[in-house]
Structure 1
Amino acid sequence: MSILINKNSRIMTQGITGKTGQFHTRLCREYANGQQCFVAGVNPKKPGEQFDGIPIFATVQEAKQATGATVSVIYVPPAFAAAAIDEAVEAELDLVICITEGIPVRDMLRTRYKMEERKTRLIGPNCPGIITPDEIKIGIMPGYIHQKGRIGVVSRSGTLTYEAVAQLMSLGLGQSTCVGIGGDPINGLKHRDVMELFNNDAETDAVLMVGEIGGTDEEDCARWIKDNMKKPVVGFIAGLAAPPGKRMGHAGAIIAGGQGTAQGKIDVMEECGIRVTRNPAEMGKLLKSVL
């Protein structure tokens, strides 16, 4: 059991013929059950061609009908990536993972509006993707640092996801699923959405939640955890020293109007009973202490 993806997932790559799409599709296919799981590519200019034996289709709908794929990963350039998400939503895929960084905010506003009342879940954009260790990985995270276990990880930061996993592994703690939700201001699944999935997953015993400055997603999640979560959650918030008004790393990592500070997020999380470390080197130890 896992959340969102497993060894039975059937995946297509939108932008499979680009340099990034080729590189990461190849690596994902080499990981665990990837050979069986990656079944289609999409490029409107190259239908009928193949990449490493994967058939390429002109549209998401055609790829879905021909192969049964219900999950898509997007490596399309920023100017066209929102339209790629729209196409996957129109085709009623179950899950779309958008790795692309730098999508114009106005494009994502339109896409989020179009996604209302639709069945498709979106992870990203500007995210490392999602992995269920020893089963399937979809995205750009290094597979070898992960191992199957019972800890859920949800993070806005790609590199801090890897750091958290490395610490868990050093303590002998594998993961059920790791979800990098991305750091853009307008994105798909939030911390709270993923936390709800972990809460209902019989194979997840505890969750490590990594946040950063900007927005109010971590606070919203903390309040939901206080009222609903049946499993222990620990957290880390990046950006304690970040100056207000300056964008740090991610498009969404900005303290604006006094909102979105790391300290403010930590205060709310601790008020809601979540143990939070100020030291990124202590994430794994803190998680182990609540098991």
Structure 2
Amino acid sequence: MSILIDKNIKVLVQGLTGKEGLFHTEQMINYGTSIVGGVTPGKGGKTYLGVPVFNTVEEAVKNTGGNVSVIFVPSPFASDAILESIFANVEVIVCITEGIPVSDMIIIKHLLKEKKSCLIGPNCPGIISPEESKVGIMPNSVFRKKGKIGIISRSGTLTYEAADQIVKLGYGISTAVGIGGDSVIGMSIKEIMELFLEDQETECIVMIGEIGGKLEIEAAEWIKKLNNQKPIISFIAGQTAPKGRTMGHAGAIIEKKIETAQVKMNIMKESGIHIVKSPANIGMTVYEVLH
């Protein structure tokens, strides 16, 4: 099993007709993802890449049975695009767009508690399950081999780097989830970790975190209380970052001592998580832990 997505999902692309939407939709189709519809207001009735376009998500869901959406809508309109999918009861919403205001995300986060949908992102590369499906922008070439290693990451490029190392050592990926680098996001590391721990096919989990926020600490403290048998390997980006400066991602800013890389790594180590000091050693650590 993979988590969140599989080969049976039906994907809607919000913002399909834009430059980014068209490029990545074509990549997803090439990967084998079932794209059943696009959503662009004012372009309903047209067809792009052989995919029918609708004016609203509600209309798209009604006509196609779409149950997953991926959002390539520009940032001023992206929060409305997320809300539209939530109210259409789309099961999994993946928002690639960056630059969504924190105030919008706080409203969305609050609303999600009462709704069926789960949100990945915003400002994320999406989800990929090799040999099954891809929702987002992860490179097809890296994620070719299905296997038993799950990846959760706050960083897009480090997700690809870790997967590449793991595959080169002969392992495969069950699912890789890029949760996004903003300070307020949909699903947390802990929530994705929970899905991986329940997934029978995932035998080892790689967690790529970064400075700022408490997502990794929350997950580590939760794991400490469990009788967890699956090995977890973690790398925290930003080990030399100065306090108070945003580093790359909006969420990567150290505001309190507990949000530094070193403190996070110490807490994780105490929770039985294997710590990797350099991103170059992620694959080798997976190999060592599983042998």
Where in structure 2 are the equivalents of 1:248-263 lying within 5 Å? 248-263=247-262
State the match for 2:208 in structure 1. Answer: 210
1:14 maps onto 2:11 in alignment? no
* Distance in 2 separating the partners of 1:113 and 1:272: 30
SS in 1 for 2:205: strand
State the match for 1:139 in structure 2. Answer: 136
SS in 2 for 1:250: coil
Does structure 1 conserve the Cα–Cα contact (< 8 Å) formed by 2:258 and 2:264?
Answer: no
* Distance in 1 separating the partners of 2:90 and 2:108: 15
- TM-score, normalised to structure 1, is 0.97
Where in structure 2 are the equivalents of 1:181-220 lying within 5 Å? 181-220=179-218
Where in structure 2 are the equivalents of 1:45-60 lying within 5 Å? 45-60=42-57
**Deviations 1:30-53, CA, capped at 9 Å, x for gaps:** 11x22xx10000011111111111
* Distance in 1 separating the partners of 2:238 and 2:19: 33
Where in structure 2 are the equivalents of 1:59-208 lying within 5 Å? 59-146=56-143, 147-208=145-206
State the match for 1:279 in structure 2. Answer: 278
* Distance in 1 separating the partners of 2:239 and 2:151: 21
* Distance in 2 separating the partners of 1:2 and 1:280: 25
* Distance in 1 separating the partners of 2:132 and 2:140: 10
Question: How far did 1:227 drift?
Answer: 2.1
State the match for 1:2 in structure 2. Answer: 2
Question: How far did 1:28 drift?
Answer: 0.6
Amino acid at match of 2:212: G
Does structure 1 conserve the Cα–Cα contact (< 8 Å) formed by 2:209 and 2:216?
Answer: yes
State the match for 2:26 in structure 1. Answer: 26
Question: How far did 1:82 drift?
Answer: 0.7
Does structure 1 conserve the Cα–Cα contact (< 8 Å) formed by 2:257 and 2:263?
Answer: no
SS in 1 for 2:61: helix
Amino acid at match of 1:81: A
**Deviations 1:182-210, CA, capped at 9 Å, x for gaps:** 11010011111111000011111110110
Q: CA RMSD in A?
A: 0.9
Question: How far did 1:257 drift?
Answer: 3.2
Does structure 1 conserve the Cα–Cα contact (< 8 Å) formed by 2:122 and 2:182?
Answer: yes
Number of residue equivalences: 288
SS in 1 for 2:212: coil
**5+ unaligned residues in a row in structure 2: which ranges?**
none
- Where has structure 1 moved over 3 Å in runs of 4 or more? none
**5+ unaligned residues in a row in structure 1: which ranges?**
none
Amino acid at match of 2:220: A
* Distance in 1 separating the partners of 2:152 and 2:116: 21
Question: How far did 1:230 drift?
Answer: 3.0
SS in 2 for 1:179: strand
* Distance in 1 separating the partners of 2:30 and 2:215: 34
Question: How far did 1:105 drift?
Answer: 1.1
Question: How far did 1:112 drift?
Answer: 1.4
* Distance in 1 separating the partners of 2:46 and 2:258: 50
**Deviations 1:231-282, CA, capped at 9 Å, x for gaps:** 1101000000000000000000000133410011101000101110111111
Identity %: 51
**Deviations 1:133-171, CA, capped at 9 Å, x for gaps:** 011111111111111111000000001001100110111
* Distance in 2 separating the partners of 1:100 and 1:174: 28
